[in-house]
Amino acid sequence: MKFTFKQITVGVALGLAALAAQAAEITGAGASFPYPVYAKWASDYKAATGTTVNYQSIGSGGGQKQIIAKTVDFGASDAALSGADLDKHGLAQFPAVIGGIVPVVNLPGIQPGQLHFTGALLADIYLGKVTKWNDPAIAKLNPGVSLPNQDIIVVYRSDASGTTFNWTNYLSRVSSEWKTKIGENTDVKWPTGQGGKGNEGVSNYVKQFPGAIGYVEYAYSKQNNLPYGLVQNKAGKYVQPVQAAFAAAAANADWDSQPGMGVVLNDEPGDATWPITSATFILMHKVQDKPAQGAEVLKFFDWAFKNGQKDATALDYVPLPDAVTNKIRGIWKSQIKDASGKPVYAAN
C-alpha cells in the first residue's frame, strides 16, 4: 500500500500528538493528609488517560510556598488560605476531599478504639501537664483498661502542616489554656515532645517509640496498624472515626461562608460526628501562565470527582457531594483563566 505525502504528514502529526498526550505530566505538592487518595487517583488516572500526576507529599506549608512560587501546577493545603492571602497571591482555592484526624498511640495490648480521650485531656497531654499513661485523668476516662506507669512521648509535626492547623484549631476550641498559650497555626511552639515530618513521619515515630502519642489522618492509622483513640464529640459521644462520622461533621458545612470554600469542620454538633474533621484544599493561580497545564490539572480533578469516589471511600475519606463539586466547577469557570481572560476549564 502506498501513502501520499499528505497522508504521511498527517500520520506523523497524529503520532506526535499521541506521544505528547502519553507524555503529559502535571505536578503538585503539599499536604500529606490527602496523599493516600491523591496517589490512588493519580495511578488510576494515568491508567485511564496516560497523563502522569506527580504529587509530592511535603506538608501544607510547602505546598503553599511552591504554588506561590509557581514551581508546581497546583498546591495542596489542609489549612485553607484566607481571602486576603488568596487575593495577595492571585490564587483560586477549592476543596478536594474530606477526612478525619485521629490520635494514635503505641501502648502494649491497646486495641484500636479502646482508649477514650476528651479534647481537654489531649490538650493537657500536648501541654505537657499529663505525662504518664496511668495518670488519673486518663484512668478516669478508661475504667478497666490496663494503663502502664510509662512516660508519654508526645509526637507532633515538625513541618508547616495543615494537619497541625486542624489539630491545634480543635485544641483551641476545647481548651482555653491551649488557645491562650499556644493557639492555632500550621506550625506552633510546642511545649513538649518531638517532631516528625509529614503524616508519614509522625506515624513512623509513634510506631517506633513505646508510649508515644501522635495525630495523623485516619488512613495513616490503618496503613501503619497504629491503634487510634476515640475522642469525645461535642454531644458527649464517643464514635468511631469512620467515613460516616466524617460525613456527619461535614453535613451542615456552609461552603459559601468562606472565601475559596475554606470552611473548618472541627467540633461540629451532632451525636454521630467525629470531632476533628477536615477538608483539604487545592490552590491554583487565577491567571495561568501555562493554560494547557492548568487545563490538565482541572481535567484531573474533574475526573477524580466523577470517577474517584470509590477510591476515596475505600481509603476512609469522604468524597464531595455533587452539589459541592458543581460549586467547584463554577470556581474553575469564573476564576481560573488564561492571560486573555478565557477560562481554561472545558466541561467534559
- Report pLDDT for 252: 85
163-200 pLDDT, tens digit each: 999 999 999 999 999 999 999 999 999 999 999 999 99
* The pLDDT of residue 119: 98
Summarised one tens digit per residue, pLDDT across range 244-274 is 999 999 998 999 999 999 999 999 999 999 9
Beta bridge pairs of residue 217: 101
The rounded Cα 76 to chain-centroid distance in angstroms is: 8
**What ranges do the domains of the chain cover?**
24-100+277-335, 102-252
> pLDDT, tens digit, for every residue of 289-337?
999 999 999 999 999 999 999 999 999 899 999 999 999 999 999 999 9
Average pLDDT, rounded, for the chain: 93
Is 50 exceeded by the pLDDT of residue 15?
Answer: no
Q: What is the pLDDT of residue 221?
A: 95
Query: Which band of pLDDT confidence, cut at 50, 70 and 90, is reported for residue 24?
Result: confident
User: CA-CA distance, 123 to 128, in Å (whole number)?
Assistant: 9
Give the C-alpha distances (Å, rounded to integers) separating 87 from 237, 298, 334, 341: 40, 20, 15, 17
Asked whether the domain spanning 102-252 has the same topology as the one spanning 24-100+277-335, the reply is yes
Nearest to 218 by CA among 203, 234, 201: 203
Confidence band, pLDDT 50/70/90 cuts, at residue 12: very low
- The per-residue pLDDT for 9 is 44
Contacts of 340 (CB under 8 A, 6+ apart): none
Q: Which residue has the cell 506538608?
A: 59
- Which regions of the chain does DSSP assign to beta strands (E)? 25-30, 52-57, 74-77, 91-105, 116-117, 153-157, 194-196, 212-217, 230-231, 277-285
CATH 1.10.150.80 fits domain 102-252: no
Question: To which residue does cell 488557645 refer?
Answer: 179
Helix, coil or strand: residue 201 = helix
Strands 194-196 and 25-30: unpaired
Residue 97 — pLDDT band, cuts 50, 70, 90? very high
pLDDT at residue 348 is higher than 90: no
Domain 24-100+277-335 of CATH type 3.40.190.10: yes
